[in-house]
Amino acid sequence: MSQNLRILFLLTKGFGGGNGIAKLNRDFLTALDACETVERVFAIPRQIPEVIEGMLPEAVVYDRAAACGTAMFWRRLVTVALYQKANLIICESPTMLPAAWVIAHVHGARLALIIHEPELWTRASSRLLKVLARSVDSFAVARQHAIKTIGVWCNVSLDRAFVLAHGLEGDQVDTFDSFNGEEYRARVADWVWGA
């Protein structure tokens, strides 16, 4: 692939979102900004529950208007999808997968999932989600054990899964700030390029 990546990232929360999944998403967006192959990331968050402090990563266009309620989220998502060509669509929530799938097909883009909490996905009993998940090009998980959980849930090949934060043990959230940031950025770059 010779072109730089233009990524559309559908996320629940990130900047202005506290800890947990929001921190994982902030770390991921910051790592994408450091990737030489990433031209632009259009991040569409569902929520921004806290004030965003500090500067956002340069390559990230963080659509704050999308976090102004459900209707505005979907409106902003459609607008960005229509006017910003992306070659990689990343989704991190089961409720957003159908929209991500449609956008990926309209754009002719690759579709990737980040699965922070496999339990959220496996509790989603929707046959539609399972079918759509089978068409995903790549999965990124935070923990090694999640690969098998997701593989069993939607019956996908485990070779499409990639562990981003491989240093996790138990419920410990060990990401960008707490282990080698260069290693994490390299893993993110490897994943998005191969997704």
DSSP 57: P
Residues 6 or more apart whose Cβ sits within 8 Å of residue 30: 57, 176
Q: Rounded mean pLDDT of 191-195? A: 72
Q: What residue spans define the domains of the chain?
A: 5-194
- Degrees, nearest 5: CA angle 81-127-9: 25
pLDDT digits (tens, 9 = 90+) for 136-158: 888 888 777 777 777 777 777 77
Phi first, then psi: give them for residue 192, nearest 5 degrees. Answer: -65, -30
**Token pair for residue 133?**
């998940």
What is the fold of 5-194? Rossmann fold (3.40.50)
Per-residue pLDDT reduced to its tens digit, 52-73: 988 999 999 999 999 999 999 9
Mean pLDDT value across residues 17-45: 89
From the list 137, 136, 144, the residue with the least C-alpha distance to 169 is: 144
